[in-house]
Chain A
Amino acid sequence: MSRGAGAGTRTETRRVLVVDDEQSIRLLCRVNLGASGIDVLEADDGESALELARREQPDLILLDVMMPGLDGWSVARELAEDERTRDIPVVFLTARAEASDRRRGAQLGGVGYLVKPFDPVGIGELVEDVLARIGRGEREELQRGIAAEHEQ
Chain B
Amino acid sequence: MSVHEREDRALRLQRVAELLAEAVTPQEVLDAILTEGVRAAEARAGAIGVLSPDRENIELLAQQGYPGPIMEDWGRFPVSAVLPMSRVVRTGEPLFVSTRRERNELFPELPAQARSGGAMVVLPLAVEGRVFGAMALSFEEEVEFGLERREMKIALARLASQNLARSQLYEEEQALRERMTFLAEASEILSSSLDYHHTLGKLARLAVPGLADWCTIDMAGKNGEIERLAVAHEDPEKVRWASELQERYPPNPDDPHGVPQVLRSGEPEFFPSIPAELLDEAIGDDLELRRIIDELGLRSSISVPLTARGRTFGALTLIAAESHPPFTEADFALATELARRAAVAVDNARLYSEAEKGANAAQALAHVADGVVLLDPDGVIRHWNPAAAAITGVDEELAVGRPVGDVVPSWATLTSHVPLSAPGERGAGPVTVPLVRDGRERWLAISGVDFGEGAVYALQDVTDEYALEKTRSDFVATASHELRTPLAAVYGAVRTLRREDVELSEEHRAAFLDMIESESLRLSKIVGQILLAGQLDADAVELSISECDPVQVASEVIESASVHLPEGILLGLSAEGARSIDCDEAKLKQVLVNLVDNAIKYSPDGGQVTIRLDQNGNGCLIEVADQGLGIPAEEQDRIFEKFYRLDPQQTKGVGGSGLGLYICRELVERMDGQLSVESEPGVGSRFQVALPTRR
Of A67, A68, A96, A117, which contacts B491 at CB under 8 A? A117
Task: Name the B residues within 8 Å of A69 (CB-CB).
Answer: 648-649, 652-653
Task: Name the B residues within 8 Å of A67 (CB-CB).
Answer: 653
Count CB-based A-B contacts (< 8 Å): 84
| B499 close to A (CB within 8 Å) | yes
Task: Name the B residues within 8 Å of A101 (CB-CB).
Answer: 477
Question: What's the Cα separation between A115 and B491 when bound, in Å?
Answer: 13
Contact B489 A66 (CB under 8 A): no
18 contacts between A and B (CB under 8 A): A21-B653, A22-B489, A24-B489, A28-B492, A28-B493, A66-B477, A67-B653, A68-B648, A68-B651, A68-B653, A68-B654, A95-B480, A95-B483, A97-B480, A98-B476, A117-B484, A117-B487, A119-B491
CB of B605, distance to nearest CB on chain A (Å): 13
Interface string of B649-665 (1 = CB under 8 A from A): 10111110000000000
Of B477, B492, B511, which contacts A98 at CB under 8 A? B477
Task: Name the B residues within 8 Å of A118 (CB-CB).
Answer: 488, 491-492
Question: What's the Cα separation between A97 and B504 when bound, in Å?
Answer: 31
| B495 close to A (CB within 8 Å) | yes
CB of A68, distance to nearest CB on chain B (Å): 2
Question: What's the Cα separation between A21 and B654 when bound, in Å?
Answer: 10
Of B476, B477, B485, B515, which contacts A27 at CB under 8 A? B515
CB of B507, distance to nearest CB on chain A (Å): 10
List the 6 shortest-distance A-B pairs measured between CB atoms, nearest first: A68-B653, A116-B488, A95-B484, A117-B488, A24-B489, A95-B481
Number of chain B residues whose Cβ lies closer than 8 Å to a Cβ of chain A: 32
| B502 close to A (CB within 8 Å) | yes
Contact A95 B485 (CB under 8 A): yes
CB of A38, distance to nearest CB on chain B (Å): 13
Binding site for A on B (CB under 8 A): 476-477, 480-481, 483-485, 487-493, 495-496, 499, 501-502, 504, 508, 511-512, 515, 519, 648-649, 651-655
Within 8 A of B (CB), among A71-85: 71
Contact B496 A116 (CB under 8 A): no
Question: What's the Cα separation between A35 and B515 when bound, in Å?
Answer: 19
Within 8 A of B (CB), among A98-152: 98, 101, 115-121
CB of B497, distance to nearest CB on chain A (Å): 10
Interface string of A13-27 (1 = CB under 8 A from B): 000000001101101
Contact A28 B485 (CB under 8 A): no
| A31 close to B (CB within 8 Å) | yes
Task: Name the A residues within 8 Å of B483 (CB-CB).
Answer: 95
Q: Report which residue of A24, A35, A96 has the largest number of chain B beta carbons within 10 angstroms of its beta carbon.
A: A24
Contact B488 A31 (CB under 8 A): no
Task: Name the B residues within 8 Å of A45 (CB-CB).
Answer: 653
CB of B601, distance to nearest CB on chain A (Å): 11
Q: Report which residue of B483, B485, B652 has the largest number of chain A beta carbons within 10 angstroms of its beta carbon.
A: B485
Task: Name the B residues within 8 Å of A25 (CB-CB).
Answer: 485, 488-489, 492
Q: Chain A interface mostly helix, strand, loop or mixed?
A: loop
Q: Known contacts A28-B492, A31-B504; is A71 also within 8 Å of B648 by CB? A: yes
Contact B496 A97 (CB under 8 A): no
CB of A122, distance to nearest CB on chain B (Å): 9
Q: Chain B interface mostly helix, strand, loop or mixed?
A: helix
Task: Name the B residues within 8 Å of A97 (CB-CB).
Answer: 480, 484
Q: Report which residue of B483, B492, B655 has the largest number of chain A beta carbons within 10 angstroms of its beta carbon.
A: B492
Question: What's the Cα separation between A142 and B653 when bound, in Å?
Answer: 30
Of A31, A95, A115, A117, which contacts B508 at CB under 8 A? A31
Task: Name the A residues within 8 Å of B493 (CB-CB).
Answer: 24, 28
Contact B485 A116 (CB under 8 A): yes
Besides the known contacts A24-B515, A69-B648, A95-B483, 9 further A-B residue pairs in the complex with CB atoms under 8 A apart: A22-B489, A27-B512, A66-B655, A69-B652, A95-B480, A117-B491, A117-B492, A118-B491, A119-B495
CB of B661, distance to nearest CB on chain A (Å): 19
Question: What's the Cα separation between A25 and B487 when bound, in Å?
Answer: 11
Q: Closest residue of chain B to A121, judged by CB?
A: B495
Task: Name the B residues within 8 Å of A21 (CB-CB).
Answer: 653
Q: Report which residue of B488, B490, B501 has the largest number of chain A beta carbons within 10 angstroms of its beta carbon.
A: B488
Question: What's the Cα separation between A22 and B490 when bound, in Å?
Answer: 13
Task: Name the B residues within 8 Å of A22 (CB-CB).
Answer: 485, 489
Q: Closest residue of chain B to A24, judged by CB?
A: B489
CB of B603, distance to nearest CB on chain A (Å): 14
Question: What's the Cα separation between A122 and B493 when bound, in Å?
Answer: 13
Of B488, B495, B519, which contacts A95 at CB under 8 A? B488
Contact A35 B501 (CB under 8 A): yes
Question: What's the Cα separation between A35 and B499 when bound, in Å?
Answer: 10
Within 8 A of B (CB), among A30-84: 31-32, 35, 45, 66-69, 71
Of B480, B502, B519, which contacts A24 at CB under 8 A? B519
CB of B348, distance to nearest CB on chain A (Å): 57
CB of B476, distance to nearest CB on chain A (Å): 8
Contact A120 B496 (CB under 8 A): yes
Q: Closest residue of chain A to B476, judged by CB?
A: A98
CB of A39, distance to nearest CB on chain B (Å): 16
Q: Closest residue of chain A to B478, judged by CB?
A: A66
CB of A130, distance to nearest CB on chain B (Å): 19
CB of B382, distance to nearest CB on chain A (Å): 36
Contact A35 B502 (CB under 8 A): yes
Task: Name the A residues within 8 Å of B519 (CB-CB).
Answer: 24
Q: Closest residue of chain A to B486, judged by CB?
A: A24
Task: Name the A residues within 8 Å of B489 (CB-CB).
Answer: 22, 24-25, 28
Q: Known contacts A22-B489, A35-B502, A117-B487; is A28 also within 8 Å of B496 by CB? A: yes
Question: What's the Cα separation between A6 and B648 when bound, in Å?
Answer: 35
Task: Name the A residues within 8 Å of B515 (CB-CB).
Answer: 24, 27
